[in-house]
Amino acid sequence: MTHKEHEHAHAHIGPATYYKIFAALMVLMFLTVGAWWVETVVEIPRALGVFIALVIASTKTVLIVLFFMHIKVSSRVVQLYAIAALFGLLFLFVITMGDYIARGWPPQLGPLP
């Protein structure tokens, strides 16, 4: 199968797309800095601020990965591996933070000691 699968030249991402993506990235970047600027003036919950920043960063990542890094037109296996890292991080973050939130470090220990 591996021999057949890639005979066809993969679909093409050209300079025009690159420029568009780049423009989108710049817009997102100014959005995130802008949001930060606004937050210095307007009080919003801290978690929301973090959330906004992370959503924008993730969007940028998705754009870069899909277009600059050609994942959109890559083979299925490569696409899977691009996602694999996400799962690895998910395991690490969710479980570890789970412990911290339940443990309450520092300092209070939560209902169970």
Q: Which residues bind other proteins (CB under 8 A)?
A: 1-3, 5-7, 13-15, 18-19, 21-22, 25-26, 29, 32-33, 35-36, 39-40, 46, 49, 53-54, 56-57, 60-61, 64-65, 67-70, 74-75, 77-78, 81-82, 84-85, 87-89, 91-93, 95-113
In the complex, what is the shortest distance from the CB of residue 94 to other proteins, in angstroms, rounded to a whole number? 10
Q: How far is CA 112 from CA 37, 48, 78, 96, 109, in A?
A: 41, 29, 45, 18, 7
CA 69 to chain centre: 14
Q: How far is the CB of 68 from other proteins (least distance, A)?
A: 5
| Contact indicator for 67, 21 with CB cutoff of 8 Å | yes
Q: Compute the least distance from the CB of residue 41 to other proteins, in Å.
A: 11
Which of 84, 103, 81, 82 lies closest to 92 in space, CA to CA?
A: 84
